[in-house]
């Protein structure tokens, strides 16, 4: 292929629009630049090719024979490219919105609200990816990530979604009748924690407790933890928002809490978002206002 030594493509595009509109001024409007920019692009292209493409003619311009010939080919070429891009865009636009989040968040927060979202935006399909892993946001992959971050290490420039106290929580049948007034006493209870994390021992460390005996920690996926805690299989460290009603009604016991230590925020990948993704983000923001616990 020897089209590698193509002239400046932006100049070609500019000239193509000039040829189409028959005017620098109109072409500039179409391209959202000033006429000076278009004029310079075409001049540079002419210098590169060593041939005049358009000449002044009265109040406007007219193409030279060479210019007209080139314009024809450019039109066909760019149209081909445009069709290819368009087809791709259609595929992309219609792809479901890909969202990743922690299993706990999915079960306790998003899933309960999904029906409402679907009612509001029946045409948008959400694909959830509940995982504790941090998935990279790249084109063609995950569109939106809802992530948890300890508020002690705040992250700049992201949309907070849920700001909540973090609590250690357990079912009444598990904790009843015990003296749990100091952190160290929690070492005797079984902890449930997300696969691949180490929340229990971090919690003790943060409270100045150096474990003097082996902790009982069961690792399991976040979505199962919540039910297990409710059944009384163990205690866990999580957002109060997920258990607010149950705590108020006495169906769960809050053992310790850290004020506003937990923050869930929304992260999107770089670049422009598809309409469907924008709609989901808008809906998320609206939800966020109502749930700052």
Least separation, in Å, of the C-beta of 195 and DNA? 20
Closest to DNA by CB, 32 vs 249, is 32
Residues 6+ apart with CB under 8 A from 239: 104, 108, 162, 164, 165, 166, 167, 262, 264, 293
> Residue from 20, 30, 33, 257 that binds DNA (CB under 7 A)?
33
Rounded to an integer, what distance in angstroms lies between the CA atom of residue 39 and that of residue 25? 9
Least separation, in Å, of the C-beta of 63 and DNA? 12
67 touches DNA (CB under 7 A):
no
Rounded to an integer, what distance in angstroms lies between the CA atom of residue 153 and that of residue 84? 45
Rounded to an integer, what distance in angstroms lies between the CA atom of residue 93 and that of residue 268? 16
In contact, 103 and 197? CB cutoff 8 Å:
no
Q: How many CB atoms lie within 10 A of CB 245?
A: 9
Rounded to an integer, what distance in angstroms lies between the CA atom of residue 11 and that of residue 255? 68
> Residue from 3, 6, 59, 213 that binds DNA (CB under 7 A)?
59
Site string for a second copy, 60-89 (x = CB under 8 A): ----x-x--xx-xxx-xxxxxxxxxxxxxx
> Residue from 16, 19, 41, 97 that binds DNA (CB under 7 A)?
41
Choose the contact partner of 25 out of a second copy, DNA, none; CB within 5 to 8 A by kind.
Answer: DNA
Contacts to a second copy by CB under 8 A = 1-4, 6-7, 9-10, 12-13, 17, 20, 30-31, 46-53, 64, 66, 69-70, 72-74, 76-89, 91-92, 138-141, 269-274
């Amino acid at each position: 292929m020897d089209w590698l030594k193509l002239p400046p493509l932006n100049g070609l595009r500019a000239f193509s629009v000039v040829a189409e509109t028959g005017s620098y001024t109109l072409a500039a409007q179409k391209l959202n630049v000033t006429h000076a920019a278009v004029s310079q692009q075409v001049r540079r292209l002419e210098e590169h090719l060593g041939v005049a493409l358009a000449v002044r003619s009265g109040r406007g311009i007219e193409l030279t024979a060479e210019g007209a010939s080139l314009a024809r080919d450019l039109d066909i070429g760019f149209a081909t490219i445009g069709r290819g891009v368009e087809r791709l865009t259609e595929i992309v636009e219609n792809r479901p919105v890909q969202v990743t989040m922690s299993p706990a968040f999915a079960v306790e927060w998003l899933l309960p609200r999904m029906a409402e979202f679907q009612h509001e935006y029946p045409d948008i399909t959400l694909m959830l990816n509940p995982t504790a892993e941090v998935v990279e946001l790249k084109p063609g992959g995950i569109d939106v990530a809802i992530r948890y971050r300890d508020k002690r290490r705040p992250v700049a420039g992201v949309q907070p979604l849920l700001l909540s106290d973090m609590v250690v929580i357990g079912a009444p049948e598990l904790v009843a009748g015990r003296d749990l007034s100091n952190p160290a006493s929690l070492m005797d209870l079984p902890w449930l924690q997300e696969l691949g994390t180490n929340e229990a021992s971090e919690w003790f460390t943060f409270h100045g407790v150096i474990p003097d005996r082996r902790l009982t920690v069961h690792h399991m996926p976040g979505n199962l933890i919540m039910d297990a805690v409710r059944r009384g299989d163990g205690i866990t460290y999580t957002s109060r928002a997920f258990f607010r009603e149950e705590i108020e009604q006495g169906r769960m016991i809050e053992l310790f809490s850290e004020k506003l230590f937990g923050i869930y925020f929304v992260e999107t990948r770089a670049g422009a978002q598809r309409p469907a993704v924008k709609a989901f983000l808008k809906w998320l923001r609206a939800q966020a206002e109502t749930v700052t616990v």
